[in-house]
């Protein structure tokens, strides 16, 4: 199957944005070569232990999507700021608005100043075969560059898959760079509208310089036949803050990997997420947090709710380098099973070489509290509503940590809708 992907790379590369720049063509070719050498990761690959990527190998997702002219109203969250829409991996100016100087599609950013993003793309050679395929054939993405001490405000991005062509693939590559003291809020959502299966494969490379602060909220709501894979790489300098929340409700099979390198002291990294799985969905979250320098904090809070025959997984690794003294790294993974046939896997992992650190993890897997269910029933609450109220309570503490009200409300509503669809 690898060959079909390689053929597809060859076919699309000439049309990719910026391919006229030799350095970028080289980066893409090298990525294709690395993919050819490894092929897709298997279950034996620890980071892919719980993911279900069989579909990608079974029949290649290499079709060129034919985006429909009209995709209907896009579900923007009502919040001021720039709005960028991508449909089937292509930026759509007609669906975007209030573009900011800081946020552009990759295609435009390469045309404007290809050198500005060279360093970050050049350095993106690590990562799995999925990341290599992305690097080799990403058709577009978001470029967000915020200069020193500037505030880019809120940037909302929608990645829509039309689902009009079976086995279509959209590889999205985003490059985000906040210079020293810069600020931005990035709100992303991926979604699918059609009925055909597709593969959305997104890679974001984020660099936060000293004192920069990025709030990053993502919602994976791809269609229930989709494959949705994502990798976010973040380098965090001293005093910088990366605050990430991920809601994962969609896709037949989803995998989200977040890799954060803390490269300075007094940095703060907050990773949190909620996965809601049902039917036969497989939702997998993998985090890797590396503290190279001490006196920084990281906090991970993940919740999964699993029903039917669905499976969710969370694997979180924290690595603390020998010199990273006074690191404070916390991790919590709690999982709620709504059916005996559902499965939740959680795998915390700590690898610590410094001796003066505060690192802790907690993981639980449980069912709804029967006493609470009876208590609610004894007050007149129907079993369906009782279940909904308890599930909402289970995920609420994480979602309520989002301090942008319209985003928080949108995610709470999404949770509610998910629960209602269960009834």
Q: Which is nearer to other proteins, 31 or 391 (CB)?
A: 391
Q: How many residues would you count in the chain?
A: 423
* 259 DSSP β-pair partners: 233, 288
Q: Taking CB under 8 A as the rule, does residue 364 contact other proteins?
A: no
Among 350, 352, 363, 381, binds other proteins (CB under 8 A): 381
65: which DSSP letter? P
| Rounded distance between C-alpha atoms, residue 221 and residue 365, angstroms | 24
Q: Taking CB under 8 A as the rule, does residue 383 contact other proteins?
A: yes
CB of 374 to other proteins, least distance (A): 5
Among 393, 403, 417, 423, binds other proteins (CB under 8 A): 393
CB of 338 to other proteins, least distance (A): 16
CB of 406 to other proteins, least distance (A): 20
Among 14, 340, 379, 405, binds other proteins (CB under 8 A): 379
Instruction: Give how many residues touch other proteins by CB under 8 A.
Output: 23
Among 99, 396, 404, 412, binds other proteins (CB under 8 A): 396
Residue 64, SS3? Answer: coil
CB of 388 to other proteins, least distance (A): 9
Sheet holding 268-277, edge to edge: 90-91, 82-87, 151-161, 183-192, 213-221, 241-248, 268-277, 297-306, 328-337, 358-367
Among 37, 111, 377, 420, binds other proteins (CB under 8 A): 377
Cβ distance 98 to 7 under 8 Å? no
Q: Taking CB under 8 A as the rule, does residue 369 contact other proteins?
A: yes
Q: Which is nearer to other proteins, 365 or 396 (CB)?
A: 396
- Is the Cα dihedral 129, 346, 331, 270 positive or negative? positive
Work out the angle between the directed axes of helices 383-399 and 370-378 (0-180°, nearest 10): 120
Contact stretch for other proteins (CB under 8 A) within 71-79, 192-200, 214-222, 393-401: 393-401
Q: Which is nearer to other proteins, 182 or 395 (CB)?
A: 395
Cβ distance 47 to 315 under 8 Å? yes
Cβ distance 339 to 308 under 8 Å? yes
* Residues making contact with other proteins (CB under 8 A): 369-372, 374-383, 385-386, 389-390, 392-394, 396-397
């Amino acid at each position: 199957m690898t060959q079909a992907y390689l053929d597809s790379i060859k076919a699309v590369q000439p049309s990719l944005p910026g391919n006229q720049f030799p350095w970028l063509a080289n980066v893409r070719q090298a990525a294709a070569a690395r993919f050819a050498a490894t092929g897709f990761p298997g279950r034996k690959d620890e980071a892919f232990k719980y993911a279900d990527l069989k579909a990608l190998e079974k029949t290649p997702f290499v079709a060129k999507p034919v985006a429909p002219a009209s995709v209907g109203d896009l579900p923007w969250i009502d919040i001021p700021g720039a709005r960028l829409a991508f449909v089937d991996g292509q930026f759509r100016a007609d669906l975007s608005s209030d573009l900011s100087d800081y946020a552009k599609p990759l295609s435009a950013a390469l045309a404007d100043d290809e050198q500005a993003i060279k360093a970050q793309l050049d350095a993106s050679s690590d990562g799995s075969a999925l990341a290599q395929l992305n690097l080799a054939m990403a058709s577009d993405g978001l470029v967000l560059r915020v200069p020193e001490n500037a505030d880019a405000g809120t940037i909302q991005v929608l990645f829509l898959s039309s689902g009009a062509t079976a086995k279509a693939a959209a590889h999205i590559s985003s490059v985000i760079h906040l210079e020293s003291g810069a600020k931005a809020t990035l709100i992303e959502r991926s979604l699918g509208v059609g009925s055909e299966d597709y593969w959305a494969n997104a890679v974001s490379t984020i660099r936060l310089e000293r004192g920069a602060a990025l709030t990053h909220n993502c919602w994976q709501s791809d269609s229930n036949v989709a494959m949705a894979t994502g990798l976010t790489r973040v380098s965090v300098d001293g005093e910088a803050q990366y605050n990430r929340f991920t809601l994962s409700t969609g896709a037949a099979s989803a995998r989200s990997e977040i890799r954060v390198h803390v490269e300075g002291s007094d940095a703060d990294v907050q990773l949190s997420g909620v996965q809601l799985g049902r039917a036969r969905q497989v939702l997998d979250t993998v985090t890797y947090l590396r503290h190279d320098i001490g006196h920084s904090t990281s906090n991970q809070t993940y919740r999964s709710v699993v029903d039917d025959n669905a499976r969710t997984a969370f694997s979180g690794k924290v690595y603390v380098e020998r010199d990273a003294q006074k690191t404070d790294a916390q991790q919590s993974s709690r999982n709620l099973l709504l059916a005996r046939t559902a499965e939740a896997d959680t795998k915390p992992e700590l690898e610590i070489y410094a001796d003066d650190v505060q690192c802790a993890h907690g993981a639980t897997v449980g069912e709804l509290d029967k006493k609470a269910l009876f208590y609610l029933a004894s007050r007149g609450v129907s079993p369906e509503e009782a279940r909904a109220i308890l599930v909402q309570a289970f995920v609420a503490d994480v979602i309520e940590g989002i301090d942008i009200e319209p985003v928080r409300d949108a995610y709470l509503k999404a949770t509610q809708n998910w629960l209602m669809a269960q009834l």
